[in-house]
Amino acid sequence: MTSSRKKTKISVYLDPEVMQMLAEFAARRDRSQSMVAEAAIASFLSPDDAERREAVLARRLDQIDRRITRLERDVGISLESLAVFIRFWLATTPALPEPAAKAARAKAGERYEAFISALGRRLAQGPKLRQEVAEDVEGGAGG
């Protein structure tokens, strides 16, 4: 911010907290308070600054929108998969008589534990099913 023109002196009133922040910032940067204040005012008045901030914000919002769209898609796939499985299971599994139901509940507990273990392993190793589904759909559409 050096120039051959003579600078104009102004007087401003600052809150004590703002003045303290200005003094500390200038001291940390080893700059004069006048230079820091001039740079801050120039930045505040710069028309490009508002446009730049808006562009950064717009890019960030676009990223968030794409992530939310992917999440909605993934949740939709999960819900549809679960609904298809439940519908299929209910249609193909006959009800058990009461004596066999007790043994079936015990076996179901074992199977559930095995399922949870398998799910944990699957989540740890990847790739996720949603990635495989996307690859299968994209690969199948072209061939």
Q: Where are the domains of the chain?
A: 16-45, 96-143
pLDDT of residue 140: 58
Confidence of residue 143 (pLDDT cuts 50, 70, 90): very low
Mean pLDDT computed over 89-112: 86
pLDDT of residue 42: 86
pLDDT of residue 133: 67
pTM over 0.75? The answer is no
Residue type, 69: T
Q: Indicate the average pLDDT of the chain.
A: 85
